Structure 1
Amino acid sequence: METHDAIEVCHLADPSATDALGRRLASQLIAAGADDGALLLLRGELGTGKTSLVQGLAAAMGIAEPISSPTFALAQHYDTDAGPDAGASALVHLDLYRLEQSAAADELFAQEEEEARRIGAVMAVEWPERLSFRPEGAWEVDLSHNDDGEGRLARITRPAAPATPR
Protein backbone atom coordinates (compact mmCIF):
# COMPACT_ATOMS: atom_id res chain seq x y z
CA MET A 1 0.00 0.00 0.00
CA GLU A 2 1.23 3.44 -0.91
CA THR A 3 2.03 5.91 1.86
CA HIS A 4 1.75 9.67 1.68
CA ASP A 5 3.86 12.42 3.22
CA ALA A 6 2.13 15.51 4.58
CA ILE A 7 3.39 18.69 2.98
CA GLU A 8 1.41 21.12 5.07
CA VAL A 9 -1.76 21.95 6.89
CA CYS A 10 -2.93 25.49 6.30
CA HIS A 11 -5.75 27.81 7.24
CA LEU A 12 -7.69 29.28 4.34
CA ALA A 13 -9.44 32.44 5.51
CA ASP A 14 -11.56 32.95 2.40
CA PRO A 15 -12.03 31.83 -1.23
CA SER A 16 -9.09 33.97 -2.40
CA ALA A 17 -6.79 32.05 -0.02
CA THR A 18 -8.11 28.79 -1.48
CA ASP A 19 -7.47 30.12 -5.00
CA ALA A 20 -3.92 31.08 -3.92
CA LEU A 21 -3.32 27.55 -2.62
CA GLY A 22 -4.33 26.18 -6.03
CA ARG A 23 -1.87 28.56 -7.69
CA ARG A 24 0.94 27.40 -5.40
CA LEU A 25 0.19 23.73 -6.03
CA ALA A 26 0.21 24.18 -9.82
CA SER A 27 3.98 24.39 -10.20
CA GLN A 28 4.54 21.43 -7.87
CA LEU A 29 2.02 19.28 -9.73
CA ILE A 30 3.43 20.22 -13.13
CA ALA A 31 6.97 19.38 -11.99
CA ALA A 32 5.81 16.09 -10.47
CA GLY A 33 3.95 15.06 -13.61
CA ALA A 34 6.48 16.22 -16.19
CA ASP A 35 6.30 12.98 -18.18
CA ASP A 36 2.69 11.88 -18.11
CA GLY A 37 0.66 14.39 -16.13
CA ALA A 38 -0.24 14.65 -12.47
CA LEU A 39 -3.23 13.61 -10.41
CA LEU A 40 -4.80 15.72 -7.65
CA LEU A 41 -7.60 14.32 -5.49
CA LEU A 42 -9.82 16.86 -3.74
CA ARG A 43 -11.84 15.75 -0.73
CA GLY A 44 -14.23 17.79 1.36
CA GLU A 45 -17.88 18.42 2.05
CA LEU A 46 -19.98 20.67 -0.14
CA GLY A 47 -18.82 24.28 0.09
CA THR A 48 -15.30 23.64 1.36
CA GLY A 49 -13.61 25.15 -1.71
CA LYS A 50 -12.69 22.29 -4.03
CA THR A 51 -13.69 24.20 -7.17
CA SER A 52 -12.05 27.42 -5.88
CA LEU A 53 -8.81 25.50 -5.53
CA VAL A 54 -9.12 24.20 -9.12
CA GLN A 55 -9.76 27.77 -10.31
CA GLY A 56 -6.43 28.84 -8.81
CA LEU A 57 -4.70 25.82 -10.29
CA ALA A 58 -6.09 26.64 -13.73
CA ALA A 59 -5.13 30.32 -13.50
CA ALA A 60 -1.54 29.41 -12.65
CA MET A 61 -1.47 27.02 -15.61
CA GLY A 62 -2.44 29.81 -17.99
CA ILE A 63 -6.03 28.75 -18.57
CA ALA A 64 -8.04 31.84 -19.45
CA GLU A 65 -11.56 30.43 -19.67
CA PRO A 66 -13.76 30.38 -16.55
CA ILE A 67 -13.60 27.24 -14.43
CA SER A 68 -16.86 25.98 -13.01
CA SER A 69 -17.75 22.86 -11.12
CA PRO A 70 -18.36 19.97 -13.56
CA THR A 71 -21.02 18.49 -11.28
CA PHE A 72 -23.53 18.04 -14.10
CA ALA A 73 -21.10 17.57 -16.99
CA LEU A 74 -18.95 15.22 -14.80
CA ALA A 75 -15.76 16.17 -16.72
CA GLN A 76 -14.36 19.35 -18.23
CA HIS A 77 -11.23 19.70 -20.34
CA TYR A 78 -9.28 22.95 -20.53
CA ASP A 79 -6.27 23.77 -22.71
CA THR A 80 -3.65 26.16 -21.42
CA ASP A 81 -2.87 29.40 -23.18
CA ALA A 82 0.73 29.15 -22.01
CA GLY A 83 3.54 28.15 -24.31
CA PRO A 84 4.98 24.63 -24.67
CA ASP A 85 7.66 25.34 -22.03
CA ALA A 86 5.03 26.02 -19.37
CA GLY A 87 4.67 22.36 -18.36
CA ALA A 88 1.28 20.68 -18.51
CA SER A 89 -0.68 21.48 -21.64
CA ALA A 90 -4.14 20.90 -20.22
CA LEU A 91 -6.33 20.46 -17.18
CA VAL A 92 -8.90 17.68 -16.84
CA HIS A 93 -11.41 18.43 -14.08
CA LEU A 94 -13.69 15.64 -12.83
CA ASP A 95 -16.51 15.81 -10.33
CA LEU A 96 -17.70 12.37 -9.21
CA TYR A 97 -20.33 13.65 -6.76
CA ARG A 98 -23.34 12.50 -8.76
CA LEU A 99 -21.94 9.02 -9.44
CA GLU A 100 -23.25 6.95 -6.56
CA GLN A 101 -22.24 3.63 -8.15
CA SER A 102 -18.51 3.11 -7.74
CA ALA A 103 -18.40 1.14 -11.01
CA ALA A 104 -19.58 4.24 -12.92
CA ALA A 105 -17.07 6.45 -11.10
CA ASP A 106 -14.27 3.94 -11.77
CA GLU A 107 -15.13 3.79 -15.46
CA LEU A 108 -15.22 7.57 -15.92
CA PHE A 109 -12.00 7.97 -13.94
CA ALA A 110 -10.20 5.34 -16.05
CA GLN A 111 -11.28 6.94 -19.33
CA GLU A 112 -10.30 10.44 -18.25
CA GLU A 113 -7.03 9.34 -16.62
CA GLU A 114 -5.97 7.59 -19.82
CA GLU A 115 -6.62 10.76 -21.83
CA ALA A 116 -4.94 12.99 -19.24
CA ARG A 117 -1.80 10.82 -19.23
CA ARG A 118 -1.75 10.73 -23.03
CA ILE A 119 -1.70 14.51 -23.28
CA GLY A 120 0.38 15.15 -20.13
CA ALA A 121 -2.44 16.99 -18.36
CA VAL A 122 -3.00 17.73 -14.72
CA MET A 123 -6.14 15.90 -13.62
CA ALA A 124 -8.10 17.28 -10.64
CA VAL A 125 -10.76 14.97 -9.20
CA GLU A 126 -13.48 16.17 -6.83
CA TRP A 127 -15.19 13.52 -4.67
CA PRO A 128 -12.62 10.72 -5.24
CA GLU A 129 -14.22 8.79 -2.38
CA ARG A 130 -16.82 7.68 -4.95
CA LEU A 131 -14.12 5.45 -6.49
CA SER A 132 -13.79 1.84 -5.34
CA PHE A 133 -10.01 2.29 -5.03
CA ARG A 134 -7.42 4.86 -4.04
CA PRO A 135 -5.46 5.95 -7.14
CA GLU A 136 -1.71 5.54 -6.79
CA GLY A 137 0.67 8.43 -7.30
CA ALA A 138 -1.91 11.08 -6.44
CA TRP A 139 -1.49 14.31 -4.56
CA GLU A 140 -4.36 14.89 -2.15
CA VAL A 141 -5.99 17.91 -0.59
CA ASP A 142 -8.52 17.38 2.20
CA LEU A 143 -10.59 20.52 2.77
CA SER A 144 -12.77 21.06 5.83
CA HIS A 145 -14.60 23.85 7.59
CA ASN A 146 -12.69 25.24 10.57
CA ASP A 147 -14.12 24.17 13.93
CA ASP A 148 -14.48 27.83 14.92
CA GLY A 149 -16.57 28.55 11.83
CA GLU A 150 -13.95 30.90 10.38
CA GLY A 151 -12.55 29.82 7.04
CA ARG A 152 -11.34 26.37 6.12
CA LEU A 153 -8.45 24.01 6.70
CA ALA A 154 -6.52 22.26 3.96
CA ARG A 155 -4.38 19.19 4.59
CA ILE A 156 -2.09 18.58 1.64
CA THR A 157 -0.34 15.27 1.06
CA ARG A 158 1.76 13.97 -1.76
CA PRO A 159 2.80 10.48 -2.77
CA ALA A 160 5.84 9.25 -0.89
CA ALA A 161 9.00 9.17 -2.92
CA PRO A 162 9.78 5.65 -4.16
CA ALA A 163 12.45 3.82 -2.23
CA THR A 164 15.83 3.84 -3.92
CA PRO A 165 17.28 0.40 -4.71
CA ARG A 166 20.38 -0.65 -2.82
Structure 2
Amino acid sequence: MRPYTYLHLKSNSEERTIEIARKFASTLRPGDVVSLKGELGVGKTCFVKGLAEGMGVEELVTSPSFTLVHEYRGTVPLYHIDLYRLDDPWTSMEDLGLEEYFFGDGVTAIEWGEKVFGYLPPEYIQVEITFGDGGGREILFRPFGQGWQKRLKEWATNCTF
Protein backbone atom coordinates (compact mmCIF):
# COMPACT_ATOMS: atom_id res chain seq x y z
CA MET A 1 0.00 0.00 0.00
CA ARG A 2 1.34 3.40 -0.96
CA PRO A 3 1.85 5.79 2.00
CA TYR A 4 -0.61 8.65 2.34
CA THR A 5 1.70 11.59 1.81
CA TYR A 6 -0.51 14.68 1.76
CA LEU A 7 -4.00 16.13 1.51
CA HIS A 8 -4.75 19.12 -0.73
CA LEU A 9 -7.83 21.29 -0.13
CA LYS A 10 -9.02 24.60 -1.57
CA SER A 11 -10.62 27.51 0.23
CA ASN A 12 -12.40 30.40 -1.43
CA SER A 13 -12.87 32.51 1.73
CA GLU A 14 -11.64 33.20 5.22
CA GLU A 15 -14.76 31.50 6.58
CA ARG A 16 -14.00 28.35 4.58
CA THR A 17 -10.40 28.28 5.84
CA ILE A 18 -11.69 28.57 9.40
CA GLU A 19 -14.21 25.78 8.73
CA ILE A 20 -11.50 23.45 7.38
CA ALA A 21 -9.28 24.14 10.39
CA ARG A 22 -12.19 23.71 12.82
CA LYS A 23 -12.88 20.28 11.36
CA PHE A 24 -9.18 19.41 11.38
CA ALA A 25 -9.01 20.25 15.10
CA SER A 26 -10.96 17.04 15.78
CA THR A 27 -7.76 15.09 14.96
CA LEU A 28 -5.60 16.96 17.47
CA ARG A 29 -4.36 15.60 20.80
CA PRO A 30 -2.17 16.93 23.61
CA GLY A 31 1.45 17.03 22.47
CA ASP A 32 0.62 17.58 18.79
CA VAL A 33 2.52 20.15 16.75
CA VAL A 34 1.01 21.90 13.72
CA SER A 35 3.66 23.73 11.69
CA LEU A 36 2.12 26.46 9.54
CA LYS A 37 3.94 27.53 6.39
CA GLY A 38 3.04 30.29 3.95
CA GLU A 39 3.68 33.83 2.83
CA LEU A 40 2.86 36.83 4.96
CA GLY A 41 -0.90 37.47 4.90
CA VAL A 42 -1.84 34.11 3.38
CA GLY A 43 -4.04 33.02 6.29
CA LYS A 44 -1.92 31.17 8.85
CA THR A 45 -3.49 33.02 11.79
CA CYS A 46 -6.91 32.54 10.20
CA PHE A 47 -6.24 28.79 10.19
CA VAL A 48 -5.28 28.92 13.89
CA LYS A 49 -8.59 30.70 14.59
CA GLY A 50 -10.36 27.67 13.14
CA LEU A 51 -8.24 25.28 15.20
CA ALA A 52 -9.13 27.28 18.30
CA GLU A 53 -12.85 27.15 17.51
CA GLY A 54 -12.63 23.40 17.02
CA MET A 55 -10.82 23.06 20.34
CA GLY A 56 -13.48 24.99 22.25
CA VAL A 57 -11.48 28.21 22.71
CA GLU A 58 -13.81 31.14 23.35
CA GLU A 59 -11.20 33.91 23.41
CA LEU A 60 -10.40 36.12 20.43
CA VAL A 61 -7.44 34.59 18.57
CA THR A 62 -4.88 37.10 17.31
CA SER A 63 -1.41 36.89 15.80
CA PRO A 64 1.40 36.56 18.36
CA SER A 65 3.92 38.28 16.04
CA PHE A 66 4.99 40.75 18.72
CA THR A 67 4.59 38.57 21.81
CA LEU A 68 5.85 35.30 20.22
CA VAL A 69 3.33 33.11 22.06
CA HIS A 70 -0.36 33.28 22.86
CA GLU A 71 -1.86 30.63 25.11
CA TYR A 72 -5.54 29.74 24.89
CA ARG A 73 -7.67 27.45 27.04
CA GLY A 74 -10.07 25.07 25.36
CA THR A 75 -10.69 21.34 25.63
CA VAL A 76 -6.88 21.17 25.73
CA PRO A 77 -4.50 24.16 25.79
CA LEU A 78 -3.59 25.73 22.45
CA TYR A 79 -0.16 27.34 22.18
CA HIS A 80 0.09 29.70 19.20
CA ILE A 81 3.70 30.63 18.34
CA ASP A 82 4.79 33.03 15.58
CA LEU A 83 8.48 33.08 14.57
CA TYR A 84 8.15 35.71 11.82
CA ARG A 85 9.91 38.54 13.65
CA LEU A 86 12.80 36.50 15.01
CA ASP A 87 16.12 37.17 13.30
CA ASP A 88 17.63 33.95 14.61
CA PRO A 89 14.79 31.54 15.44
CA TRP A 90 17.22 28.74 16.39
CA THR A 91 18.85 30.78 19.15
CA SER A 92 15.51 32.19 20.24
CA MET A 93 14.04 28.69 20.53
CA GLU A 94 16.80 27.80 22.99
CA ASP A 95 16.92 31.10 24.86
CA LEU A 96 13.15 31.35 25.29
CA GLY A 97 12.54 27.64 25.85
CA LEU A 98 9.90 27.56 23.12
CA GLU A 99 10.58 23.91 22.32
CA GLU A 100 9.07 23.00 25.70
CA TYR A 101 5.66 23.77 24.22
CA PHE A 102 6.16 20.93 21.74
CA PHE A 103 6.13 18.33 24.48
CA GLY A 104 3.56 19.85 26.81
CA ASP A 105 -0.05 19.20 27.68
CA GLY A 106 -1.52 21.08 24.75
CA VAL A 107 -1.45 21.51 20.99
CA THR A 108 1.20 23.81 19.52
CA ALA A 109 0.48 25.74 16.32
CA ILE A 110 3.68 27.37 15.11
CA GLU A 111 3.66 29.91 12.30
CA TRP A 112 6.86 29.90 10.22
CA GLY A 113 7.70 26.53 11.75
CA GLU A 114 9.89 25.65 8.78
CA LYS A 115 12.46 28.09 10.20
CA VAL A 116 13.13 25.65 13.05
CA PHE A 117 12.19 22.33 11.53
CA GLY A 118 15.18 20.70 13.27
CA TYR A 119 13.52 21.49 16.61
CA LEU A 120 10.19 20.01 15.62
CA PRO A 121 9.38 16.55 16.99
CA PRO A 122 9.61 13.55 14.65
CA GLU A 123 5.79 13.35 14.48
CA TYR A 124 4.07 16.56 13.38
CA ILE A 125 1.82 17.92 10.65
CA GLN A 126 2.75 20.75 8.33
CA VAL A 127 -0.05 22.89 6.92
CA GLU A 128 1.15 24.93 3.96
CA ILE A 129 -1.17 27.67 2.73
CA THR A 130 -0.57 29.38 -0.60
CA PHE A 131 -2.40 32.00 -2.60
CA GLY A 132 -4.69 30.42 -5.17
CA ASP A 133 -6.64 31.68 -8.15
CA GLY A 134 -9.18 34.45 -7.68
CA GLY A 135 -8.11 35.29 -4.13
CA GLY A 136 -8.64 31.76 -2.85
CA ARG A 137 -6.18 29.62 -0.92
CA GLU A 138 -4.60 26.22 -1.47
CA ILE A 139 -4.15 24.27 1.78
CA LEU A 140 -1.71 21.38 1.78
CA PHE A 141 -1.59 19.04 4.79
CA ARG A 142 1.75 17.19 4.89
CA PRO A 143 2.19 14.57 7.66
CA PHE A 144 5.58 13.81 9.16
CA GLY A 145 5.75 10.41 10.84
CA GLN A 146 3.63 7.31 10.41
CA GLY A 147 1.23 8.29 13.17
CA TRP A 148 0.29 11.49 11.37
CA GLN A 149 0.06 9.70 8.03
CA LYS A 150 -2.54 7.38 9.52
CA ARG A 151 -4.46 10.15 11.27
CA LEU A 152 -4.56 12.36 8.19
CA LYS A 153 -5.81 9.50 6.05
CA GLU A 154 -8.56 8.68 8.57
CA TRP A 155 -9.61 12.33 8.79
CA ALA A 156 -9.66 12.76 5.01
CA THR A 157 -11.71 9.58 4.63
CA ASN A 158 -14.27 10.41 7.33
CA CYS A 159 -14.63 14.19 7.06
CA THR A 160 -16.99 15.94 4.69
CA PHE A 161 -15.49 19.01 3.10
TM-score above 0.5: yes
Residue of structure 2 equivalent to 1:123: 108
> Cα offset for 1:116?
5.1
DSSP-derived class of the 1:45 partner: coil
> Cα offset for 1:104?
3.0
- Structure 2: which 5+ residue stretches go unaligned? 148-161
Q: Do residues 40 (structure 1) and 34 (structure 2) align?
A: yes
The answer on whether the counterparts of 1:77 and 1:92 sit within 8 Å (CA) in structure 2 is yes
Residue of structure 2 equivalent to 1:17: 16
TM superposition score normalised by structure 2: 0.80
- Structure 1: which 5+ residue stretches go unaligned? 83-88
Q: Do residues 96 (structure 1) and 83 (structure 2) align?
A: yes
Aligned identity (percent) is: 32
Map of 1:153-164 to 2, 5 A cutoff?
153-161=138-146
Tell me: CA distance 1:95–1:143, structure 2 relative to 1, closer, same or farther (3 Å): same
> Cα offset for 1:133?
2.0
Q: Do residues 151 (structure 1) and 136 (structure 2) align?
A: yes
Tell me: CA distance 1:11–1:29, structure 2 relative to 1, closer, same or farther (3 Å): same
TM superposition score normalised by structure 1: 0.78
> Cα offset for 1:41?
0.1
Number of aligned positions between the proteins: 144
The one of 36, 46, 70 equivalent to 2:64 is: 70
The answer on whether the counterparts of 2:79 and 2:107 sit within 8 Å (CA) in structure 1 is yes
Q: Which has the higher helix share?
A: 2
Give the alignment's Cα RMSD to 1 decimal.
Answer: 2.1
